[in-house]
Amino acid sequence: MFEGEAQVPGGRGALGVEETIKERIHLVPRYRQRIHRVPLNLAHPVWVDDPNFDLGAHVRREVLPPPGDGAALRKLVMRILARPLDMRRPLWEMTIVTGLRGGRVVIVNRAHHAMVDGVSSVDILTLLLDTSPEPYTPEPPADDWKPRPTPTNWQLIRPMLWTFGPATRSRTKVPAIWNTTNLPWTGLLNVFHKLVTPRPDLFFNRKIGPQRTGRGLKVPLSAFKSLKDHFGCTVNDAVLAVVSEGLHRWFVGRGEKVPEKVRVFCPVSVRGDDARGRGGNQISGMVLELPTGNLTMEERLRRIKVTTGDLKRTRQAVAADKLAGLADWAPPTLLVLAGRLMSNPQAGANINVTNIPGPQFPLYSGGAQLLEVWPFAPLYPSMGLGVAIVSYNGDAYFGLTADPGIVPDVEQFTARLREAGAECAALATRS
What residues does 369 pair with on adjacent strands? 364
**CA–CA dist 41, 45 (Å, integer):** 8
pLDDT, residue 136, reads 84
Assess whether 290 and 416 both reside in one domain. Answer: yes
pLDDT of residue 424: 87
Any domain includes 168 = no
CATH number of the CATH domain containing 317: 3.30.559.30
Domain boundary among 153, 176, 197: 153
Within-domain flag for 160: no
Residues 125 and 199 in one domain: no
- Are both 218 and 136 inside the same structural domain? no
| C-alpha separations of 271 from 109, 181, 377 in Å | 22, 23, 19
Strand partners, 253: none
Domain that includes residue 224, residue range: 184-361+368-430
Do 352 and 231 lie in a common domain? yes
Q: Tell me, what's the pLDDT at 243? A: 97
Q: 367: buried, middle or exposed (CB in 10 Å: 19+, 13-18, 0-12)?
A: buried
Give me the number of domains the chain comprises: 2
Block means of pLDDT (10 residues each) for the chain, length 431 residues?
95 95 90 91 88 95 94 94 93 96 94 72 76 89 92 85 47 42 48 60 93 94 90 91 97 95 79 51 72 95 88 51 44 52 58 90 96 92 93 96 96 96 86 60
- What does the buried/exposed string (b/e) look like for 192-231 if buried means 16 or more CB atoms within 10 Å of the residue's CB? eebeeeebeebebbbebeeebbbbbbebebebbebbbeeb
Helix (H), strand (E) at residue 92: strand 92-98
What's the predicted TM-score (pTM) here? 0.83
Q: What is the pLDDT of residue 198?
A: 66
Residues 147 and 195 in one domain: no
Measured between alpha carbons, how far is 323 from 219 in angstroms, rounded to an integer? 35
Residue 324: per-residue pLDDT: 43
List all residues 6 or more positions away from 400 whose beta carbon is below 8 Å from its beta carbon: 214, 215, 216, 217, 376, 385, 386, 387, 410, 413, 414, 417
Q: Do 110 and 196 belong to one domain? A: no
Residue-level pLDDT at 278: 52
pLDDT of residue 120: 60
Output the pLDDT for position 345: 44
- pLDDT at position 339: 52
CA distance 106 to 17: 11
